[in-house]
Amino acid sequence: MIMHKITDYFGIDISKSTFDVYNDVQGHHQFKNDRSGYKLFSKLLRDNAHCIMEATGYYHFPLACYLMENKIAVTVENPLKIKRFVQMKLSKIKTDKADSKFIWEYAQTNDLKLWKVPNMEAKQLLSLIDTYQKQSTQIKNKIHGEGAMGSPSKLVIQSLKRSLKSIQKEIEKIEGALEEIVKLEDCDALARLQTIPGMGKKTALMLIVLTDGFRDFESASQLCSFAGLTPIIKTSGSSIRGRERISKMGNPKLRNLLFMCSFNACKCNSECKKLYERIVAKGKSKKLALIAVCNKLLKQAFGIMKSGLCYDPNFKSVLARN
């Protein structure tokens, strides 16, 4: 959808603590990436404003939601598209200020889709799980530290273990709430994904939430790019042959989730097992083989979500092959 010519575009580059904004009339501005910064930024906007930003994990989400709540048009673009646009301009400048202008320029010549707000409650619950998991890690480290001291206090250890158990129960409650939200969107999606050998309930649940139900992906390759699992090969002439590696530009949580799932898939998913053994037999590293399994799992999941069918090892989906 190409926006009307009088649309007032604002390119936004977001980092953890700040976000930079560029507009051809207003120029460059920088604001804090919090509610106070959003309010100051909104003073620059009129009814014809259209804000464009990259999908940057969770950093873009609060600002995008704030703008939507205030009836401002928002586009959250795939960062790979912006990167390719900048590469085509042969720019050697890499700053937040420059990036915000590049995003503004991108908006002038590309079709923009208005952002559809993901299930906000699901995202908030996911963020809460992250908080509890960090607390869990801290407690585990304390327990390990007490043991390393040689004479751990029994009362302290028991107290820490109780706290750890309490946190785990809270995480399980939140995962249960997430499951209910996912079922409201698509009552069968969670069950269908679990028919993939090697994919458990938790992985299937997080996969649906992190990809917003696969709604914004037209092909399995786009999904793999979103997860940062697409390979990068560095070659130049006949002398430079860089080691193949994954881009790591996508969602790290999704990538880590799939990598852990790949170990189990290599044992019970026949297609994944064949792929893993074939790559290792060629002398490639086991890690590279596991990454290939991650891609295979994503393609299987994509085929299931788009077709509405359960897993069938003999079914060849046209969508999954794209």
Q: Are 307 and 188 in contact (CB under 8 A)?
A: no
The answer to the question of residue 24 being in a domain is yes
CATH number at residue 48: 3.30.420.140
- Determine the pLDDT at residue 313: 80
Residue of higher predicted confidence among 309 and 146: 309
pLDDT at 118 over 80: no
Confidence of residue 1 (pLDDT cuts 50, 70, 90): very low
The answer to the question of residue 2 being in a domain is no
Confidence of residue 147 (pLDDT cuts 50, 70, 90): low
Point out the domain boundary residue: 156, 185, 214: 185
| Per-residue tokens: 178 | 């997430």
Q: Are residues 181 and 198 in the same domain?
A: no
Q: Are residues 210 and 305 in the same domain?
A: yes
CA distance 17 to 230: 29
Q: Are residues 313 and 197 in the same domain?
A: yes
The answer to the question of residue 174 being in a domain is yes
- Range in 53-67, 151-165, 206-220, 286-300 the model is least confident about: 53-67
Q: Are 33 and 59 in contact (CB under 8 A)?
A: yes
The answer to the question of residue 60 being in a domain is yes
Q: Are residues 12 and 132 in the same domain?
A: no
- Determine the pLDDT at residue 244: 53
pLDDT at 248 over 80: no
- Determine the pLDDT at residue 119: 67
Q: Are residues 197 and 316 in the same domain?
A: yes
Point out the domain boundary residue: 109, 129, 149: 109
Nearest to 69 by CA among 103, 99, 45: 45
Point out the domain boundary residue: 62, 89, 109: 109
- Determine the pLDDT at residue 233: 44
- Determine the pLDDT at residue 190: 92
Give pTM, 2 decimals.
0.59
Domain span at residue 233 reads 193-321
How many folded domains does the chain comprise?
3
Q: What are the CB-based long-range contacts (under 8 Å, 24+) for 218-225?
A: 219/302, 219/319, 219/322, 220/298, 220/299, 220/302, 220/303, 220/319, 220/320, 220/321, 220/322, 221/322, 222/78, 223/298, 223/299, 223/301, 223/302, 224/295, 224/298, 224/299, 225/78, 225/80, 225/249, 225/250
The answer to the question of residue 114 being in a domain is no
- Determine the pLDDT at residue 317: 52
Q: Are residues 32 and 83 in the same domain?
A: yes
Q: Are residues 20 and 138 in the same domain?
A: no
Q: Are residues 201 and 309 in the same domain?
A: yes
pLDDT in tens, 181-239: 788 778 899 999 999 999 999 899 989 988 888 887 888 888 888 888 866 544 444 44
* Rounded mean pLDDT, 277-296: 93
pLDDT at 302 over 90: yes
pLDDT at 165 over 50: yes
- Range in 77-91, 99-113, 281-295 the model is least confident about: 77-91
